[in-house]
Structure 1
Amino acid sequence: MTDPTRDYDSHDEAPAPEMFQYKLDDDADGTEVEDLGNYVPGGYHPVALGDVLGDSGRFRVVHKLGFGGYATVWLCHDNESKKWRTVKVMAAHASTPDCADLRALELFSGTSLDLLAANRVQLALEHFWVDGPNGRHLCFVLPFLGPGLSTVYHLYGHVPELMKDICFQLVEALEFIHSRGLCHGDFRPDNILFRLADGVDEWDEEEIMKLLGQPDLARVERVDGTEADMEPGVPTYLVERSHIEYGSGACSSEIAVIDYGVSYRASEPPVGKGTGITLPYAAPEALFSLDNDLGFHSDVWSLGVTIAKVRCGLTPFADERYDTMLEGLEKMESILGPLPEPYRSIWKGWDGVFVNCQDENGGLRQDDDSWKDESVPATVCTESEESTRQARVMEGRHPNHLQLGLIMHIDDEEAADIAAQAASNPGRLPAYKYGQEAHRLSYEQQVRYTMTDAEIKQLFDFFLAIFTWHPEERPTLNQIAGHEWFGDRHRRRQLAAAAPASPPPLKAVNTKRARSPSPLRPGKKSRVEIGKSGEEVRGSGIVKNVWASWSLYRGRIGLGLRKGAGCITRFFSWAMGKITRIISGTISTMGGFFRGDV
């Protein structure tokens, strides 16, 4: 949320017609569809099921995946690759050659798709243009992806390690984006999706429809009820967005950060425009339109709120639908303390009334500078409001809210099955189906999950480090990754990055006739070799060679293979393959010797 008085560039909003002549029919109430009023010149491109997009009709439209203020998003079958693709059709007013999405593509040009995916970043695979009755539209082609992260807590919140893995991926993704000098600008759960499992993008259409459900249509009609022909820029129906269930069995646990439509270089903050990020995820500098202060640290704030939403199922400072900026600031003050400068002066100019500006009768003091006292909250007007506010804080919304626990519409057996799947197959979101209506279980049967006191303590230490009024006081992403709440994930990542991709090759074993005394004969000196570490490596034959290779293989550390019985067990498992290949080579050479080839 930003200052409503701010002037925006003309391409930020679609032109509004004087009077829109169309509406959805009465049966469409409650459907999840885009704003019909955006189908005007400069707005959305009308797309119907079965349409083809791109050169030579390459992309056939099959279903609606989503929509936003700037675009509609469609599931299409690519007749060239024979895969399912996401096609995002931008509104005409947002389709410019220098738009942020294209600038992000340019910034990451030369970066392989594999490297982007490994760092949880998903950019458009390609783009093209479509001319239509409402203007010229830029279209982005992306892989077919899964659901967003907004409600993942409600099914998997009782599996803390899975939740932490997902949240750690968020840190990794943002760290990689920032490493290229780019700020995302709108980092929140709706712009972070789960990838689908391998092969889903090649399913046949029948399987896809089972996954998404058949399209639901909302008919469009004229306001005056006449049967006159529709204008070419208005569709005859809208398609309700589809949903992929977390527990469908089709979702990977890997995430992909999408939507770079308001991204910007850290060296070039969007002065005079802001990013338009929604109230719950906006840092104080974004709320108060201090665009020069926007940067990496603004994304860090949004990351903190996103992690709170994913792990705790809540946004700490504002509800996503109902809260106002005043209510958001009130919650911020209840956690972070009174509003400081420079925000305080801006808020005074917008709203103007502080508790310490009141006289004894509750009237506004004239020419009084007491509002500058930063020890007093800025979001209350009277002493009575202050006492009411303190009572709400004492109710303990933070952290007592987490101690109330999560009521899950599953029973103990189902909860245990989900946890077991997460442990046995961490690369896939656990499969689960409600079977009947969610209320099929009695209150007593439903699982109540509550975080441990230890995790609650760690989480609030984590959040209080991130949520600070002043951007420069927020931690770096590397510091966030190393926080104790993430356990040893950061250390494991560092070790994996330092370890070689594969163990070094073994030296060939000398299988020719020995021209020197055997090291195993009595009275003869055993051969001694010196490893890289300077240690003597004694012995001979297969075991010596394999052990020498193993002890020089730094990758064993990255695999968590150190001292102890576990190390020995893993060493022999690893070594068997090496030994088998060496023996095969030895037998082959011996055969050649007896044939006279050697």
Structure 2
Amino acid sequence: MMSCSPSSSSSEEEDESFESYRRGGYHAVKIGDQFAGGRYIAQKKLGWGQFSTVWLAYDTKDEKYVALKIQKSAAQFVQAALHEIDILSAIGDGSPSHTKFVAQLIDHFKHTGPNGNHLCMVLEFLGDSLLRLIKYTRYKGIPLKKVREICTCILIGLDYLHREHGIIHTDLKPENILLISPINPSRDPLSTGASPILERPEGSISPSPSHMEKRLKRRARRMSMSLSMGRGDSIDEYPKRNIEEIDVRCKIVDFGNACWADNQFTDLVQTRQYRAPEVILQAGYSYSIDMWSFACIAFELATGDMLFNPRAGQGFSEDEDHLALMMELLGKFPKKMATSGAKCKDFFDRFGDLKRIRRLKMCPLKKLLVERYKFSEKDANEFSEFLLPLLDLSPEKRPSAQQCLQHPWIKDIDYAPFDIINNGNSLENLNVGMRNLQIAVGK
């Protein structure tokens, strides 16, 4: 239950390493600790990542719960935090009706501790990630009606990032999209009515290194009580709820790796399973890589399985297996894509075939949905027609988020529950410029 994923490369281990609590590393936090002159008071730990820990905190000024992200203090982590603050500040300047599907930065400040100066970000408190929702269904897939609702939220958020701010997220994945409230209501401080902790429990002292080491070891023995976001988490702690009862409105979070389209920092972006082909081939990238990741997420929500999960093998790399999986699902790469990237010659021969993986087992998306996941012909046809344009191997042919919102599979969704109607206005503002757009869907 984090309002931001603390890092785009969160570990699947249960807890951060004790060794990272040192000069330049994490700041040791105790329940009841105060930040920003006493405005924010730590309540409990929500999660952690390679760059930071995230805590549920109580804002004594505005009298509400927030997520407090505390960055490591070394220079490179400070620089990363400054970049994320810059991105989040720009995002927060937009209209409230559109920013509702993107995490909001409330405050930021510097906190000095024994391990150095830590930049801290205060974000809105949100619920579980889409990964936890996928796990809650025991990887059986989420009803398509709910998938459509989730996709609508993500697309509105992406449209806002892309069109209004020129921002590419670059690390869209289920862990980086959070529900607005926890799946388990007992974990929601707003619904339980529990009083916030306003001071340290009596006798509480800052954790010593030996105490912290023992605590981390104890937690490692209690995997079922984990608060991490890794795929190994237990779901038995969740009370059984009908999936239809769960509020699936959600927001895009974690902008630590985001960039402006005209100011990119690195060629290697995106988490492996959600990585677009142009990134693998180093052929340049733009907003369309977010659309590729979005399609992978939509498939995973509907089926419970990752669309692409490559593995290195004897004589071929993980990258080459990834390209082979794409070709098995989507066909041969267009000549331009197979020849234009900086790494194309590493993978393709002059005929556009993979050099080291010669045998491909072709399986079109619709066939996969029907035969493996038992979709009806109607559902498989409609869902594949929505996804295939987003998975076009030519990035320039992929539809934008704005266009996707007008696709028949999405546009009939009842928007009212998403609360994007502001002050009695209809969706007129959102639909400006959309009415005449047509999407060419794959056959």
TM-score normalized with structure 1 length: 0.54
Query: Please, which of 351, 376, 386 is the counterpart of residue 373 of structure 1?
Result: 351
Deviations 1:454-486 (A, max 9, x none): 111122222221112222121122322222322
Structure 1 residues 378, 247: CA separation in 2 closer, same or farther (over 3 Å shift)? Answer: farther
Structure 1 residues 467, 110: CA separation in 2 closer, same or farther (over 3 Å shift)? Answer: closer
Q: Which amino acid aligns with 1:466?
A: L
1:70 aligns with 2:17: no
Q: Which residue of 2 aligns with 1:255?
A: 250
Q: Which residue of 1 aligns with 2:301?
A: 310
Larger radius of gyration: 1
The alpha carbon displacement at 1:138 in A equals 1.3
The alpha carbon displacement at 1:499 in A equals 11
Q: Distance in 1 between matches of 2:38 and 2:421?
A: 47
- Does the 8 A contact of 1:337 with 1:377 survive in 2? no
Structure 1 residues 91, 463: CA separation in 2 closer, same or farther (over 3 Å shift)? Answer: same
The alpha carbon displacement at 1:318 in A equals 1.8
Q: Which residue of 1 aligns with 2:4?
A: none
1:280 aligns with 2:265: no
Structure 1 residues 88, 242: CA separation in 2 closer, same or farther (over 3 Å shift)? Answer: same
Q: How does 1:311-326 map to 2 (within 5 A)?
A: 311-318=302-309, 324-326=318-320
- Does the 8 A contact of 2:150 with 2:249 survive in 1? yes
- Does the 8 A contact of 2:35 with 2:111 survive in 1? yes
Deviations 1:386-440 (A, max 9, x none): 34x33xx3xx48444433566xxxxxxxxxxxxxxxxxxxxxxxxxxxxxxxxxx
Deviations 1:90-123 (A, max 9, x none): 2223223873322213323543556522xx1112
Structure 1 residues 316, 204: CA separation in 2 closer, same or farther (over 3 Å shift)? Answer: closer
Structure 1 residues 162, 498: CA separation in 2 closer, same or farther (over 3 Å shift)? Answer: closer
Q: Which residue of 1 aligns with 2:16?
A: 34
Structure 1 residues 500, 137: CA separation in 2 closer, same or farther (over 3 Å shift)? Answer: closer
Q: Which residue of 1 aligns with 2:441?
A: none
Q: Which residue of 2 aligns with 1:501?
A: 424
Q: Distance in 2 between matches of 1:151 and 1:401?
A: 24
- Does the 8 A contact of 2:81 with 2:256 survive in 1? no
The alpha carbon displacement at 1:314 in A equals 2.3
1:329 aligns with 2:323: yes
Q: Which residue of 2 aligns with 1:547?
A: none
- Does the 8 A contact of 1:144 with 1:201 survive in 2? no
Structure 1 residues 201, 379: CA separation in 2 closer, same or farther (over 3 Å shift)? Answer: farther
- Does the 8 A contact of 2:147 with 2:298 survive in 1? no
1:105 aligns with 2:100: no
Q: Which residue of 1 aligns with 2:389?
A: 465
The alpha carbon displacement at 1:148 in A equals 0.7
Count residues with an aligned counterpart.
376
The alpha carbon displacement at 1:169 in A equals 1.5
The alpha carbon displacement at 1:350 in A equals 4.3
Query: Please, which of 345, 369, 376 is the counterpart of residue 402 of structure 1?
Result: 369
The alpha carbon displacement at 1:276 in A equals 3.5
Q: Which amino acid aligns with 1:167?
A: C
Q: Which residue of 2 aligns with 1:188?
A: 173
Gaps of 5+ in 1: 1-11, 14-29, 210-219, 221-228, 355-370, 381-385, 407-449, 504-553, 555-598
Q: Distance in 2 between matches of 1:149 and 1:319?
A: 21
Query: Please, which of 41, 44, 55 is the counterpart of residue 60 of structure 1?
Result: 41
- Does the 8 A contact of 2:97 with 2:422 survive in 1? no
Query: Please, which of 215, 220, 223 is the counterpart of residue 237 of structure 1?
Result: 215
Q: Which amino acid aligns with 1:123?
A: Q
The alpha carbon displacement at 1:237 in A equals 3.2
Q: Distance in 1 between matches of 2:402 and 2:194?
A: 45
Q: Which residue of 1 aligns with 2:403?
A: 479
Gaps of 5+ in 2: 1-7, 198-206, 220-225, 230-236, 429-443
Q: Which residue of 1 aligns with 2:332?
A: 338
Please tell me the root mean square deviation across aligned C-alpha atoms, in Å.
Answer: 4.1
1:265 aligns with 2:260: yes
Q: Which amino acid aligns with 2:227?
A: R
Query: Please, which of 22, 25, 28 is the counterpart of residue 46 of structure 1?
Result: 28
The alpha carbon displacement at 1:451 in A equals 2.6
Q: How does 1:390-539 map to 2 (within 5 A)?
A: 390=361, 393=362, 396=363, 398-403=365-370, 450-486=374-410, 488-489=412-413, 501=424
Deviations 1:37-64 (A, max 9, x none): 433433322233x151412333332322
Q: Distance in 1 between matches of 2:20 and 2:161?
A: 32
The alpha carbon displacement at 1:178 in A equals 1.0
TM-score normalized with structure 2 length: 0.72
Q: Which residue of 2 aligns with 1:171?
A: 155
Structure 1 residues 310, 121: CA separation in 2 closer, same or farther (over 3 Å shift)? Answer: same
Q: Which residue of 2 aligns with 1:138?
A: 119
The alpha carbon displacement at 1:312 in A equals 2.4
The alpha carbon displacement at 1:279 in A equals 0.7
- Does the 8 A contact of 2:15 with 2:228 survive in 1? no
